[in-house]
Each structure stands twice: as structure tokens, then as C-alpha cells.
Amino acid sequence: SCRFNDGDSSYMTKSFGTPTDNKKFTLSMWVKRGVLGATQNLMGSWADSDHHTIARFYSDDTISFYDWDNPNEGSIYTNRVYRDCSSWYHLVFIWDSANSTEADRLQIWTNGVRETSLKGITDYPATTWTPSCNTSGVDIEIGRRSDGGYFDGYMAEVCFIDGLALTPTSFGEFDEDSPTIWKPKDVSGLTFGNNGFYLDFEASDNLGNDANGG
């Protein structure tokens, strides 16, 4: 895992080129929180103040996932709160704006279970919409967004999939002997796409190494 400290403004960034499909991506990460009650960004792609894609914890410890185009073009907010700092959460964020089923265009999953209890401000993108994230020339940042809101805690097994909307079973599975326990699985065989990457944090002297070979 990798320790992110909001006190020293630590984060990671990658510059994106031409995407495989900029209407479709999946972000999977294992997260252990270090601070509660603060707005903290897990991922940000910031074109400018009026155009950006964010996945983050809010100050009320819920999660939001949205693309902002002044106003929102697509957004979902959980009713669930995430306040257990002793456990790992496996979070999967799916953007699939071309999906013919409106409610499937934005998804959040926690430990293999889809978050379906959402706040009333839910807004799904049009099928023609392309988000700021996974766009050529727009960086992705892991652990913050460009105007601040750093994450504090641990991350592990961070995967970004360009061009595919993958369910959590591509990244994790329920334990055979303890079926209520969700655990990670080998992701090395996945197709990551042009802008995809896999951060396994195995090399302490090279934490940003892309284990997918990028």
C-alpha cells in the first residue's frame, strides 16, 4: 500500500494521451481512511474550474462521483457513510455515459456491492457526453484534485481501466471460506487500454511505477 498524507500534500499524477474510449472508464482502488469529517479527493481530472471529474469523500463522510460542466453533467452521491478507519474499503467507480440504461452510466461499488441508496441530487449524463477524465491533455491525479482537498490514508491496488466498464469481480472476490469477506484478486490479466494503469506500490523507491507496463 501507499500512505497519502494530507499534511504534506502528497498525491500522484499521470498525463493522459488519446483514450481508447473517453465515454467509458473504470477506477478501482482499495482505501483505508486516516481522517474523517473532511472533504478528501480520491481522484481528480481537472481541465479547469468549470470542467473536471471528481471521486471523493465529502465532509459528512459520504462519497460523490461526478463530472462538472458548470453545472453538473453527471453526478451521484451516496447516502452511505464511510467512517471505519480500521478497515479497507474496495471502491469501484464506473463511468459509462454511452450506456443505453441511464442509471448504469454512473456507478459506485463498495466491497463488491453496488451503492443504490443515493441522494436526491443524482444526475445522469447524456449518452453523447464525454467527461474531463480520460481526455487527451488532461491529467489524472490520485489523492487530490488540482484546487486541493488531499486524501489522507492508505491506498492499494489502484487500477484505471480506459475503455471498459468493469464490475468489481474483475478486481475482487468473496473469500471461499469466509463468504462475507471481500478480498483482492490478480488483475494482471486485465485489458487496461491506452490511458490505463495499475499501481501496486510494490517498489518503495518507485511508488508511481505502472505495474501494467505503462
DSSP per-residue letters across 67-129: EESSSEEEEEEBS-----TTS-EEEEEEEETT-SSGGGSEEEEETTEE---B-TT-BPPPTT-
Of the chain, the end-to-end C-alpha distance in Å amounts to 19
pLDDT digits (tens, 9 = 90+) for 47-57: 877 788 999 99
23-32, 54-63, 174-183: which range is least confident on average? 174-183
Reply yes or no: is the peptide bond before residue 71 cis, omega within 30 of 0: yes
Q: State the average pLDDT over residues 37-60.
A: 90
Cβ–Cβ < 8 Å for 155, 40: no
> Can you tell me the distance from the alpha carbon of 41 to that of 146, in angstroms, rounded to the nearest whole number?
10
Q: Binning pLDDT at 50, 70 and 90, where does residue 37 land?
A: very high
Q: What percent of the chain has pLDDT over 70?
A: 99
pLDDT at 198 over 70: yes
> Can you tell me the distance from the alpha carbon of 161 to that of 85, in angstroms, rounded to the nearest whole number?
27
Could you give the angle at the alpha carbon of 194 between the alpha carbons of 193 and 197, nearest 5°? 70
Q: What is the pLDDT of residue 143?
A: 95
Q: Binning pLDDT at 50, 70 and 90, where does residue 69 land?
A: confident
pLDDT digits (tens, 9 = 90+) for 141-155: 999 987 778 999 999
Among 44, 47, 45, 22, residue whose Cα is nearest residue 130: 22
Quick one: how far is CA 23 from the chain centroid? 15
Q: Binning pLDDT at 50, 70 and 90, where does residue 191 land?
A: very high
